[in-house]
């Protein structure tokens, strides 16, 4: 397994090795085709996440999507905002 | 799980039998270090305190020095002061003695530095003669374990912290005491800890302490969210403070929160306690040890060599590169977990973390029975007390 899903409620998975765009990745939440390169330790979407919806890891909210995120897309500071972050 | 160590006069149980020489102010560091050099006593020296302190800040400083001097892992303490400083070395020695432990104090301005060094060496040499062998026994329930993570990376929240969380559940079930700290590393996950509080007052006390920590940073006029997660954390894949904190609190397991204590203070009972302390590794570990931690479990991604003058610090990593590159720092290598996960599709993280838990418990028992940690072997005695006030 090249990616870990920490909780069944999660909508993101963490890559445990660097993954390439187009790669098919098996996870406990099903097989995902990556739309972008994902560096080791970084996250990709397991489900579609709309702008304003919560991003969930460990079964908890880790932030809010700032734009629509497709399945297999890279999820990080460019499209997620902390609820503690102003602006 | 039997542990052999030293039963102290006051009923405490120690797993080390150190003689320490403690300066009460940086002006006395030279004398303390020289006495330590001539006797092999362990030096506990100050970098940032003892003079020009007020109120709660001074109380916290003295409480921490007393907590270290009266620690169950310490057989005998010598306090060395200059004399004119705001913290009274005799008071520190008295308060250690009042806790049923052994301490003496010397002041440089009373006798001159050469005499103080000579007298210190004599006192320590005679204390050495009264040291007893490791022969008293107890079980794991009497241990106090501190928790800390530092130089975190993506493996911390996935591997080492959840594995330590399982260890905490086991220890508390056995009747042991566990202390976690790092007030700003729970922001974004504080509601989950508060939910685990034994009663409403404890939950409110905990949440009030976290709110105050956030307010204190805001008062500095900085966008602290810009520094948490740090640039290094972001490069490593952590997106928000919530994600970092959720990974960090994994190490507290799922047991109830029994209460909160101030920095350097001993928990009044058994089970899981929160210590209101900083994230800075050296100051966090110092506070945990002053609070009576016999051992500190330190999870790390990138690695550190940090030790403590009186308690063993066990380094745990889930990162294979770190375990290899910093092999002389890491005590428990959990990198097999990700390797196995990567190699096989039929293995769950949960069952691998169980194996990690067993490895950590095995190491705790060995270290409690005298096996030296990597930082003890290499002589790491880092020490620093958190300051919370202005200096005059």
DSSP helix/strand/coil, B291: coil
Q: Hey, which residues does B275 pair with through a beta bridge? A: B261
Angle between helices B336-343 and B349-368 (to 10 degrees): 160
CA distance B309 to B44: 6
- Yes or no: say if B389 and B51 are a contact pair by the CB < 8 Å rule: no
Across the interface, whether the CB atoms of B239 and A61 are under 8 A apart is answered no
- Residue B338, chain A, CB below 8 Å: the answer is yes
- Yes or no: say if B341 and B349 are a contact pair by the CB < 8 Å rule: yes
- Residue B336, chain A, CB below 8 Å: the answer is no
Q: Hey, which residues does B6 pair with through a beta bridge? A: B14
Q: Closest CB to A62: pick one of B234, B240, B347.
A: B240
Residues in chain B: 392
**To the nearest whole angstrom, how far is the Cα of B157 from the nearest Cα of chain A?**
9
- Residue B232, chain A, CB below 8 Å: the answer is no
CA distance B310 to B312: 7
Across the interface, whether the CB atoms of A77 and B225 are under 8 A apart is answered no
Across the interface, whether the CB atoms of B247 and A58 are under 8 A apart is answered yes
Across the interface, whether the CB atoms of A16 and B241 are under 8 A apart is answered no
**To the nearest whole angstrom, how far is the Cα of A45 from the nearest Cα of chain B?**
13
Half-sphere exposure of B321 (CA within 13 A, CB side): 7
Q: What is the pLDDT of residue B223?
A: 66
- Whole-model pTM: value is 0.96
Concatenating the DSSP letter of every residue in B45-103 gives: --SS-SSS--HHHHHHHHHHHHHHHT-TTEEEEEEEE-SSSSS-HHHHHHHHHHTT--E
Q: What is the pLDDT of residue B232?
A: 80
Q: What is the pLDDT of residue B222?
A: 73
Across the interface, whether the CB atoms of B158 and A16 are under 8 A apart is answered yes
- Residue B222, chain A, CB below 8 Å: the answer is no
Residue A86 pLDDT grade (very low, low, confident, very high; cuts 50, 70, 90): low
ipTM over 0.90: yes
Locate tokens 């920590």: which residue? Answer: B213
Alpha helices in chain B (DSSP H): 29-39, 55-69, 89-98, 108-111, 113-129, 154-155, 161-174, 190-195, 200-219, 231-235, 241-249, 281-290, 320-325, 336-343, 349-368, 374-377
Reading chain B (392 residues) residue by residue, the pLDDT tens digits are 899 999 999 999 999 999 999 999 999 999 999 999 999 999 999 987 778 899 999 999 999 999 999 999 999 999 999 999 989 999 999 999 999 999 999 999 999 999 999 999 999 999 999 999 999 999 999 999 999 999 889 999 999 999 999 999 999 999 999 999 999 999 999 999 999 999 999 999 999 999 999 888 888 877 665 567 888 888 889 999 999 999 999 999 999 999 999 999 999 999 999 999 999 999 999 999 999 999 999 999 999 999 999 999 999 999 999 999 999 999 999 999 999 999 998 899 999 999 999 999 999 999 999 999 999 999 999 999 999 988 88
> Among B23, B150, B33, which residue's Cα sits nearest to residue B77?
B23
Concatenating the DSSP letter of every residue in B309-324 gives: SSS-EEEEE--HHHHH
Locate tokens 């739309």: which residue? Answer: A35
Residue A87 pLDDT grade (very low, low, confident, very high; cuts 50, 70, 90): very low
Q: What is the pLDDT of residue B225?
A: 58
- Measured in degrees and rounded to the nearest 5, phi and psi for residue B145 equal -115, 125
- Give the residue, B297 or A86, on which the prediction is more confident: B297
**What sign for the dihedral angle of Cα B27, B30, B31, B36?**
positive
- Yes or no: say if B168 and B272 are a contact pair by the CB < 8 Å rule: yes
> Among B220, B259, B294, which residue's Cα sits nearest to residue B18?
B294
CA distance B295 to B18: 14
CA distance B28 to B50: 11
Q: What is the pLDDT of residue B392?
A: 87
- Residue B243, chain A, CB below 8 Å: the answer is yes
- Yes or no: say if B233 and B248 are a contact pair by the CB < 8 Å rule: no
Which residues on A lie below 8 Å from B153 (Cβ)?
A: 41
Angle between helices B29-39 and B113-129 (to 10 degrees): 40
For residue B345, what is the nearest residue in chain A, using CA coordinates?
A1
Task: Give per-residue pLDDT as tens, A8-61.
Answer: 999 999 999 999 999 999 998 899 999 999 999 999 999 999 999 999 999 999
């Amino acid at each position: 397994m090249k990616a870990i899903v920490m909780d069944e409620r999660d909508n993101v998975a963490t890559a445990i090795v660097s993954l390439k765009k187009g790669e098919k990745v098996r996870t406990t939440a099903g097989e995902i085709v990556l739309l972008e390169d994902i560096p080791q330790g970084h996250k990709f979407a397991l489900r579609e996440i709309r702008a304003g919806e919560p991003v969930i890891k460990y079964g908890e909210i880790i932030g809010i999507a700032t734009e629509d995120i497709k399945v297999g897309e890279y999820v990080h500071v460019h499209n997620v905002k902390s609820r503690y972050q102003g602006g | 799980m039997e542990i052999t160590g030293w039963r102290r006069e006051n009923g405490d149980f120690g797993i080390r039998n150190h003689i320490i020489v403690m300066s009460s102010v940086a002006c006395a560091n030279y004398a303390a270090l020289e006495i330590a050099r001539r006797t092999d006593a362990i030096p506990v020296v100050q970098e940032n305190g003892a003079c020009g302190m007020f109120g709660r800040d001074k109380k916290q400083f003295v409480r921490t020095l007393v907590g270290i001097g009266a620690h169950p892992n310490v057989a005998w303490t010598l306090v060395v002061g200059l004399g004119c400083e705001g913290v009274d070395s005799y008071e520190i020695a008295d308060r250690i003695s009042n806790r049923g432990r052994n301490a003496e104090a010397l002041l440089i301005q009373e006798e001159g530095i050469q005499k103080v060094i000579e007298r210190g060496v004599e006192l320590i040499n005679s204390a050495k003669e009264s040291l007893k062998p490791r022969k008293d026994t107890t079980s794991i329930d009497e241990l106090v374990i501190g928790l800390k993570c530092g130089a975190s990376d993506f493996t911390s929240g996935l591997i080492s912290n959840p594995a330590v969380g399982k260890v905490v559940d086991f220890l508390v079930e056995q009747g042991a005491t566990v202390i976690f700290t790092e007030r700003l590393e729970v922001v974004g996950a504080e509601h989950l800890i508060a939910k685990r509080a034994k009663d409403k007052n404890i939950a409110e006390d905990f949440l009030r302490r976290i709110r105050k920590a956030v307010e204190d940073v805001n008062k500095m006029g900085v966008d602290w969210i810009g520094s948490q997660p740090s640039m290094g954390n972001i490069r490593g894949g952590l997106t928000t403070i919530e994600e970092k904190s959720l990974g960090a609190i994994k190490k507290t397991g799922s047991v109830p929160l029994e209460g909160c204590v101030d920095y350097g203070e001993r928990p009044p009972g058994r089970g899981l306690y929160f210590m209101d302390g900083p994230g800075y590794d050296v100051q966090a570990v110092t506070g945990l040890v002053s609070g009576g931690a016999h051992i500190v479990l330190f999870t790390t991604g990138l690695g550190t060599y940090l030790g403590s003058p009186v308690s063993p610090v066990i380094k745990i990593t889930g990162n294979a590169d770190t375990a290899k590159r910093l092999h002389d720092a890491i005590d428990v290598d959990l990198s097999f977990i990700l390797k196995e996960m990567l190699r096989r599709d039929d293995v769950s993280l949960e069952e691998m973390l169980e194996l990690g838990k067993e490895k950590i418990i095995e190491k705790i028992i060995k270290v409690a029975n005298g096996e030296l940690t990597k930082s003890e072997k290499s002589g790491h005695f880092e020490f620093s007390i958190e300051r919370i006030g202005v200096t005059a």
